[in-house]
Chain A
């Protein structure tokens, strides 16, 4: 990486400070990051000064609606910003720029957060930097783990993509043809009325650990892509048959062929994870083979799932010099610091957004962003 990242440095200042705001789904995050002058490297790491987050959680059986999520973000954002400044021991006027998630995501929540960003920008007279949410995950993942050029598996409530860097773009090699994996897991959690606290996916993971019987589900990899809505429909139906309250349905009991034991909801969670994660690992492996790479980085909320990490590790170990990288829940799950980091990289290459150009967009493909800070 030999791009000059200090062309826009302020004279006399040996570092940059950026504040990042994230609110594309139900997590509201504010983070403050510090970059020292010069290339980022193992001896010159980005410093996380603060990383504060609050999550909007709904009761079991309910998903989060855009309108309530936006309300949560609106009414929490000032508190969270103040907390981030105090924890980072930074004043607003010390900052170099205000970074915010421009997309992709849910319209109303994104809008709530960008208004806060625009306000801060005018209050402290700072430039604004719009950031693509996926790029935030990728760049933070690379920085935290030190993985220079891995194939990235980005898995969250709203995204499921396999990405590889090439020619100043993060190109999408494989993705979901319908729903995202986090969305699939969250919806099944609703079917089973599993609590959403701390996160539905986390609770499914804990239940899956107690499951052992594999229920047969469709396996729907399509080339480099995958489809999940069929599997969800299938398992929703099984769950309704087993646990449904509809009067017409006589609660069937599903018996495991080998052991004769009845299938439990833990078994369903286990089966769903096994098939979904197998498919993810398969399309990741395909991308690795196709670009001749042996490094995988997992980012996004679903990346914190231990079974997924375990399966990916088993796959990568079979490859020469195979290496897996993953971040912990501070960075895996949506957060403000990743926006600050990716935004600061943009800022350092001279890319900022004028006020009129800070409109958010629900659809924002990862490969639309020009990665000016890399030239490899």
Chain B
């Protein structure tokens, strides 16, 4: 089934070698050795690049599908460009084909010992399930990584940017340095409510995917998040933090208080 999707993208990228890296719900991520227009680009990796492709979704009405593909691709590229400008770690964009849902970008991340890409999810699962080592899961390496993730998300929010789909699959680790990826649902907002929902989504995702130790991970994430809000780099960080955390409490309760009938 991935084959016919690969065929779809090859139509737009003829003669480009593609190796599937991951297949998410919305897009396929490929690795390629080819840069679209430079033989020696100014990037840390010169022979590895990522191509993200949003395929047609046959279940959606063609009009809805075309609009979503184009809008999400445009949105993602604009968002990534701004992040790079602000110094928030994210892949830099090389090329984009909006109607066809293609983004060519910088390669980031490493391979874990079990061959999986170093997303936060895979890395934690590696410690939780492959090595099944509690002392690693609750050790200082994981703690620092989570704090760093919190710092990064905090910096994002302090720039009034919302990721929109924070899960442990959407955070890559390059030597304990976290990088955010997948900005298909990202948006711009200064509202505490939106930042709180962003955090809540991550909290819930961590609980669902890493249920055994998630309360530790989340505690450290929030630690890093709080830390950056105290940084001198950002005006009224403290006040924004208080508002966001208060909203987070509300959102958590709302999740429990939402009335369900029938």
Contact = CB atoms under 8 A, between A and B. Distances in A.
B45 to A, nearest CB: 26
Contacts of A312: 59
* Max chain B C-beta neighbours (<10 A), residue from A24, A177, A224: A224
Interface in A350-375: 362-365
B258 A26 contact: no
B58 A318 contact: yes
Contacts of A180: 260-261
B57 A225 contact: no
Interface string A212-252: 00101001011111000000000000000000000000000
Interface string B19-50: 00001111000000000000000000000000
B68 A219 contact: yes
B63 A157 contact: no
B95 interface: no
Contact of A224 (B24, B63, B201): B201
Interface in A168-218: 171-173, 175-177, 180, 182-183, 214, 216
Nearest to B197: A222
Given A166-B211, A289-B24, A223 B259 contact: no
A84 B64 CA distance: 46
Interface in B125-177: 164-167, 169
B261 A158 contact: yes
Scoring B61, B67, B169, B256 by chain A CB atoms within 10 A of each residue's CB, the highest score goes to B61
A48 interface: no
B165 A224 contact: yes
Interface in A319-376: 319-320, 322, 334, 362-365
A293 to B, nearest CB: 12
A108 to B, nearest CB: 11
A164 interface: yes
A113 interface: no
B164 A363 contact: no
Contact of A223 (B24, B201, B260): B201
Interface string A246-277: 00000000000000000000000000001100
Interface in B217-262: 255-262
Interface in B8-24: 23-24
Interface in B65-107: 67-68
B60 A278 contact: yes
Residue from B23, B25, B64 having most chain A Cβ neighbours under 10 A: B25
A214 B23 CA distance: 29
Interface string A278-305: 1001100110111100000000010000
B63 A166 contact: no
Given A173-B208, A278-B57, A278-B64, 18 more contacts: A25-B261, A104-B259, A105-B262, A106-B261, A106-B262, A158-B262, A159-B261, A164-B208, A183-B261, A219-B68, A223-B165, A223-B166, A223-B197, A224-B201, A285-B26, A289-B24, A322-B1, A363-B257
B6 interface: no
A171 B1 contact: no
A318 B259 contact: no
Contacts of A314: 58-59
A311 interface: yes
Contacts of A310: 59
B169 A221 contact: no
27 contacts: A25-B262, A105-B260, A105-B261, A106-B261, A106-B262, A156-B262, A159-B262, A164-B208, A166-B211, A167-B211, A172-B204, A173-B204, A219-B68, A223-B197, A223-B198, A224-B165, A224-B204, A225-B201, A282-B26, A285-B25, A290-B25, A290-B205, A317-B1, A318-B5, A334-B262, A363-B258, A365-B260
A133 interface: yes
Contact of B209 (A156, A219, A291, A317): A291
A90 interface: no
Contacts of A133: 262
A147 interface: no
A315 interface: yes
B153 to A, nearest CB: 14
Contacts of B191: none
Given A285-B25, A289-B25, A214 B201 contact: no
Contact of A214 (B26, B61, B165, B208): B61
